[in-house]
């Protein structure tokens, strides 16, 4: 399912008129360390505060350990990226934006994405936001990067970037309770690698894109599939509204709290329709592929308890996509409903190696969530493009993050995440180290390792199909 978001450049033109960015998430940590905040001295106003500007520029080289025979150029890449966040407070309105941009030199691709961009009314408890805004709708969706509530940018599957919903937000927020209503007339889907037609196949300049099979068993004979993209008008995809409601009881910073959310929204991942035409004179099938939008009802509940630096969270999410039937002679992806459960423990280790380390232990269990291609009569088709909506369905995760040491009186920061998925019988290890020789410069080094116990077990699973994508990277980051 993640491989179907090739409409990235098309839809994003609403905001940027370009493609996307494999955005780096290190800015949040740097903000927390207090080294990125900067008031813009050039911003002057008699009735407003100076703008707060945060940003980073990063140059990174990435090397994959296993070459791709059909695309050796994807073994090594260089990325120059930048991110800019601005918060402007005026006497009658506030405005905020978070924008990323970048380029891959070797592939000649440029990227631009708006993560958030909104204006907000003034007020102590009641505010109205208009634009693209992130919100904590569900802990399980955010923690596990499910992309069911909010869309994601997934050019790099190991660096998913959560995006905000776009609409009008009515938020009544007090310390012990909150109610937020969001209504939207438009839809911006999750975005992945830019997919194109080439030689009868659907290809992308990405190690994280899985092309659909080109073999089709027709009357006990293997036929070659030739794909063609049929992109509908932007308005047919974008003009799909929805609404959602979130309520919070209790203070999430202490004591017992609960968050309940419900919504009727377009599914963030576009589904695919296809039409096949068999050439009787050849062992060939021409397939036209067209993206489409479907809706779902989504509900989630988070219950937690926070005591000092310790937080426990139990989460439940239920997703019920609408079943749609295609026109005659067409086939469409039918998303199966799912229920997701999660338990998490977050705490801080004090005075370990003289510094504080944030620790997260979490477990995820997903029931359902498959994909079945169906015909216009509702009967299952004998060919399915993709069979799963999520990357992980039965996983245990351990994450460590923080400053582990001081070298020459400068901080050494690390992030380590280990994940094991029992359904896939495989694991994922992410590591990154950042050393700050000065307040604004950081040296970055890291690596990612994927593996499975049995390569013949569930060949279409995420960890199995991308097990050759072990890699390491390094670069420099400038923050301001």
Query: DSSP letters of 205-241?
Result: S-TT--PPP-EEEETTEEEEEEEEE-PPPHHHHH---
- Please report which confidence band the pLDDT of residue 22 belongs to, taking 50, 70 and 90 as the band edges: very low
Record the tokens describing residue 14, joined without a space.
């609403």
Per-residue model confidence as pLDDT tens digits over 281-293: 567 788 899 999 9
CA dist., res. 4 & res. 270, Å (int): 7
| Percent of the residues in the chain that have a pLDDT greater than 70, as a whole number | 86
- Please report which confidence band the pLDDT of residue 187 belongs to, taking 50, 70 and 90 as the band edges: very high
CA angle 254, 150, 98 (to 5 degrees): 85
Say how many domains are in the chain.
Answer: 1
Segment (H or E) for 141 = helix 139-143
Q: What are phi and psi for residue 239, nearest 5 degrees?
A: -80, 65
CA dist., res. 129 & res. 166, Å (int): 10
* pTM assigned to the model: 0.87
CATH, residue 251: 2.40.160.10
Per-residue model confidence as pLDDT tens digits over 125-149: 999 999 999 999 999 999 999 999 9
Strand partners, 299: 262, 318
Record the tokens describing residue 45, joined without a space.
């106003």
Buried b (16+ CB within 10 A) or exposed e, 80-109: ebbbbbbebbeeeebebbbbbbbbbeeeeb
Which distant-in-sequence residues (6+ apart) come within 8 Å of 305 by Cβ?
255, 256, 257, 311, 312
Strand partners, 333: 373
CA dist., res. 23 & res. 410, Å (int): 26
User: Is residue 315 predicted with pLDDT exceeding 90?
Assistant: yes
- Please report which confidence band the pLDDT of residue 30 belongs to, taking 50, 70 and 90 as the band edges: very low
Please, are residues 406 and 354 in contact by the beta-carbon 8 Å criterion?
yes
Which pLDDT score, from 0 to 100, does residue 234 have?
86
CA-wise closest residue to 272 among 318, 321, 209, 335: 335
Question: What is the separation, in whole angstroms, between the first and last Cα of the chain?
Answer: 37
User: Is residue 64 predicted with pLDDT exceeding 60?
Assistant: yes
Record the tokens describing residue 72, joined without a space.
């050796």
CA angle 56, 61, 64 (to 5 degrees): 135
- Please report which confidence band the pLDDT of residue 27 belongs to, taking 50, 70 and 90 as the band edges: very low
Q: What is the mean pLDDT of the chain?
A: 87
Per-residue model confidence as pLDDT tens digits over 210-222: 888 877 766 666 6
The answer to which of 158-172, 249-263, 351-365 has the lowest mean pLDDT is: 351-365
User: Is residue 164 predicted with pLDDT exceeding 70?
Assistant: yes
Which pLDDT score, from 0 to 100, does residue 33 have?
36
37 burial level (CB within 10 Å; 0-12, 13-18, 19+): exposed
When pLDDT is averaged across residues 409-428 and rounded to a whole number, the result is: 96
Question: 228 lies in which domain range?
Answer: 2-479
CA-wise closest residue to 62 among 77, 82, 81, 80: 77
């Amino acid at each position: 399912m993640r491989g179907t978001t090739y409409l990235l450049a098309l839809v994003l033109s609403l905001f940027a008129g370009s493609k996307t960015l494999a955005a780096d998430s290190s800015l949040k940590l740097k903000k927390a360390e207090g080294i990125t905040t900067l008031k813009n001295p050039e911003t002057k106003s008699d009735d407003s505060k100076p703008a707060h500007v945060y940003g980073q520029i990063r140059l990174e080289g990435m090397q994959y350990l296993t070459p791709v025979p059909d695309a050796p150029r994807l073994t090594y890449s260089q990325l120059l990226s930048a991110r800019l966040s601005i918060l402007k407070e005026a006497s009658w309105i506030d405005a905020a934006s978070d924008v990323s941009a970048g380029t891959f030199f070797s592939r000649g691709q440029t990227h631009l994405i708006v993560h958030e961009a909104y204006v907000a009314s003034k007020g102590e408890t009641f505010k109205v936001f208009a634009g693209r805004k992130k919100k904590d709708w569900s802990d399980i969706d955010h923690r596990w990067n499910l992309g069911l509530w909010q869309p994601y940018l997934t050019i790099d599957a190991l660096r998913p970037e959560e995006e905000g919903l776009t609409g009008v937000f009515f938020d009544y927020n007090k310390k012990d309770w909150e109610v937020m209503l969001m209504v939207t007339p438009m839809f911006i889907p999750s975005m992945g690698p830019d997919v194109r037609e080439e030689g009868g196949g659907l290809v992308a300049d990405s190690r994280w894109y899985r092309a659909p099979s080109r073999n089709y068993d027709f009357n006990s004979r293997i036929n070659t599939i030739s794909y063609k993209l049929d992109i509908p008008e932007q308005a047919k995809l974008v003009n799909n509204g929805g609404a959602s409601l979130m309520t919070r009881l209790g203070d999430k910073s202490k004591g017992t709290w609960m968050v309940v959310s419900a919504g009727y929204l377009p599914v963030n991942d576009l589904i695919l329709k296809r039409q096949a035409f068999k050439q009787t004179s050849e062992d060939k099938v021409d397939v036209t592929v067209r993206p489409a939008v479907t809706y779902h009802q989504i509900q989630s509940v988070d219950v937690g308890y926070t005591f000092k630096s310790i937080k426990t969270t139990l989460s439940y999410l239920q997703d019920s996509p609408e079943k749609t039937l295609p026109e005659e002679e067409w086939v469409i992806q039918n998303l199966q409903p799912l229920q997701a459960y999660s338990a998490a423990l977050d705490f801080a280790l004090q005075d370990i190696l003289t510094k504080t380390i944030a620790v997260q232990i979490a477990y995820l269990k997903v029931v359902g969530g498959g994909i079945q291609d169906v015909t216009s009569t509702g009967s299952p088709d004998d060919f399915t493009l993709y069979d799963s909506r999520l990357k992980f369905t039965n996983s245990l995760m351990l994450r460590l993050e923080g400053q582990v040491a001081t070298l020459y009186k400068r901080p050494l920061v690390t992030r380590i995440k280990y994940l094991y998925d029992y359904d896939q019988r495989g694991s994922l290890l992410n590591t990154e180290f950042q050393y700050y020789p000065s307040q604004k410069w950081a040296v970055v080094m890291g690596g990612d390792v994927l593996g499975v116990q049995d390569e013949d077990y569930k060949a279409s699973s995420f960890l199995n199909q991308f097990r050759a994508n072990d890699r390491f990277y390094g670069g420099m980051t400038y923050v301001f």
